[in-house]
Structure 1
Amino acid sequence: MARRKKIYEGKAKILYEGPEPGTIVQYFKDDATAFNAEKKDVIEGKGVLNNRLSEFFMTGLNTVGVPTHFLKRLNMREQLVRACEIVPLEVIVRNFAAGSLAKRLGLEEGTPLPRPIVEYCYKDDKLGDPLVTEEHIAAFGWASQQDMDDILSLSLRVNDYLSGLMYGVGIRLVDFKIEVGRVYDGDYQRLIVADEISPDSMRLWDIETGQKLDKDVFRRDLGSLTDAYTEVARRLGVMPKQATHVAKPKLIN
């Protein structure tokens, strides 16, 4: 498929104008970034893995009635998604203490939380995506109270689905982040899961060993990022059971 006009380029993806009105082509790059892009690298095959894994998660969510922007995969690096108006928030769902939460509250990493905690960050790279409260969100008009109720419900449904899915293959879902988009059907607005769901946007630990299978491998120099993502894909059946990582992973269709 011939690419159309580039709409936006971020740290991990490029968005192109889609073939039909109301659609976007989402291209997954091999770029890896951490610490608000202070640490950067290009990791061959990462974009291919994230494209396939995001397809897998989004398709599963659609199947269980959680609406997403995903329409179909186009090739190894691109997928067709529905255009939507992105709510300017990162929605973070935490099941165990890790990352910034562990630092802020002085908790030991891996401490189980009494219940899933949902946090919100304002999407602004220049500001470092600062943590905000519902008071900030209401005051600045980023989302209405009804939106926030719907976002909370949506994020907890995603958490239920992903937690169970990962537990079934021996992986602990420590936390994850999603973005939410608004779509309109006439005068009716609804919220859907947008952007991507991949190991780039999750913390995933092996239940038995505690081995990290997410972008913390890159953040903390713990080994091969593509080996970690390949292991997640293998366990979920996105790659053949006997697969091991090669420079250009061969994924099943």
Structure 2
Amino acid sequence: MNNKYELIYEGKAKKVFSHDDADKVIIEFKDDATAFNALKKAKFKGKGKLNCLISAKIFELLLNNNIPCHFLELKNENTMIAQKIKVIPLEIVLRNTAYGSLCKQTTIESGTDLGKPLIDLYLKNDELNDPLITKDRIELMNILSTKDLNYILDLTLRINEILKGFFKNIQLKLIDFKLEFGYDFKNNILLGDEISPDNCRLWDLNQKNDTIVSLDKDIFRNDLGGLIEAYSEINRRINDFI
């Protein structure tokens, strides 16, 4: 990145830089992979590029369906330009199928398709290990208004319907995903972060005998190997479809 741009923030998978326009930022995707709140780390050459390209295509899909997003355009294959937002410290997780932490914390059997989408809210705080949080606690902490939270929850359900249909068209089952939102300079709520195999669970529908084949970060979490191949396959399917 050109030295004229100031590094504003560096997270586990991305760097955010200033832009010539104060209302915009430049987001560079890194090749780092992390899991279990960064207790497990590795680098995969080309991962940042794939996540950036996949996210850009999905943001464009959502924008075309009237979902407000921070994404503006690609700068290059691993960098995008986005609206500058003040990130709301919540992670919104929507689950269509029971898997992972939900099954560890409840008696619901892994792989159970849920009767309706379940939305879990987590406080975005590494020191506290991103705990599950209630609506009442969100209100108590003055994180955002009930009106804005309800708007985000409605948006999340709309995003789920769009993404479920899109992924099904490219033979992927959307198990669950994580979203983050923020306020732009006009105080509008925008979808931020990324939409990629790093924060979506995606199972390959091209399998027989109900075999589960993950094409997402579970490959890294569970030491299954072939992460770049899986992400590349998702990128290929998206490009073939769009």
TM-score band by shorter chain is over 0.9
Q: Which residues of structure 1 form unaligned runs of 5+?
A: 241-253
- Tell me the CA shift for residue 102 of structure 1: 1.3
Using the size of structure 1 for normalisation, the TM-score is 0.90
Task: After TM superposition, list the pairs within 5 Å mapping 1:179-194 onto structure 2.
Answer: 179-185=180-186, 189-194=187-192
Over 3 Å counting, the alpha-carbon distance change for 1:91 and 1:191 in structure 2 is same
- Tell me the CA shift for residue 39 of structure 1: 0.6
- Tell me the CA shift for residue 238 of structure 1: 6.4
Q: Contact (CA 8 Å) 1:8, 1:15: kept in 2 or not? A: yes
- Tell me the CA shift for residue 108 of structure 1: 2.2
Q: Which residues of structure 2 form unaligned runs of 5+?
A: none
Match of 1:127 in 2: 128
Amino acid aligned to 1:204: L
Q: Contact (CA 8 Å) 2:15, 2:29: kept in 1 or not? A: yes
Match of 2:12 in 1: 11
Task: After TM superposition, list the pairs within 5 Å mapping 1:145-224 onto structure 2.
Answer: 145-185=146-186, 189-209=187-207, 210-224=212-226
Deviations 1:31-55 (A, max 9, x none): 0000011110001000000000010
Deviations 1:129-173 (A, max 9, x none): 111010110010001110111011111111111100000111000
Instruction: Give the whole-Å Cα distance in 2 for the aligned partners of 1:34 and 1:167.
Output: 26
Match of 1:79 in 2: 80
Instruction: Give the whole-Å Cα distance in 1 for the aligned partners of 2:13 and 2:123.
Output: 18
- Three-state SS of the structure 2 residue aligned to 1:54 is helix
Q: Contact (CA 8 Å) 2:84, 2:185: kept in 1 or not? A: no
Deviations 1:61-87 (A, max 9, x none): 111100100010001111000001111
Instruction: Give the whole-Å Cα distance in 2 for the aligned partners of 1:41 and 1:10.
Output: 14
Over 3 Å counting, the alpha-carbon distance change for 1:239 and 1:126 in structure 2 is farther
Q: Contact (CA 8 Å) 1:56, 1:238: kept in 2 or not? A: no
Task: After TM superposition, list the pairs within 5 Å mapping 1:60-71 onto structure 2.
Answer: 60-71=61-72
Q: Contact (CA 8 Å) 1:94, 1:176: kept in 2 or not? A: yes
- Tell me the CA shift for residue 239 of structure 1: 9.8
- Three-state SS of the structure 1 residue aligned to 2:176 is strand
Using the size of structure 2 for normalisation, the TM-score is 0.95
Match of 1:31 in 2: 32
- Tell me the CA shift for residue 115 of structure 1: 0.3
Query: Structure 1 residue 235 and structure 2 residue 233: aligned?
Result: no
- Tell me the CA shift for residue 183 of structure 1: 2.0
Instruction: State the 4+ residue runs in structure 1 displaced beyond 4 angstroms.
Output: none
Instruction: Give the whole-Å Cα distance in 2 for the aligned partners of 1:223 and 1:106.
Output: 30
Percent identity between matched residues is 41
Instruction: Give the whole-Å Cα distance in 2 for the aligned partners of 1:19 and 1:239.
Output: 35
Deviations 1:180-234 (A, max 9, x none): 111243xxx3211001111100100012422100000000011211111111111
Deviations 1:67-115 (A, max 9, x none): 1000100011110000011111000000000110111113222110110
Match of 2:140 in 1: 139
- Three-state SS of the structure 2 residue aligned to 1:174 is strand
Task: After TM superposition, list the pairs within 5 Å mapping 1:43-122 onto structure 2.
Answer: 43-122=44-123
Alignment equivalent of 2:227, drawn from 225, 228, 234: 225
Match of 1:249 in 2: none
Q: Contact (CA 8 Å) 2:217, 2:227: kept in 1 or not? A: yes
Instruction: Give the whole-Å Cα distance in 2 for the aligned partners of 1:234 and 1:148.
Output: 35
- Tell me the CA shift for residue 118 of structure 1: 0.7
RMSD of aligned Cα (Å): 1.5
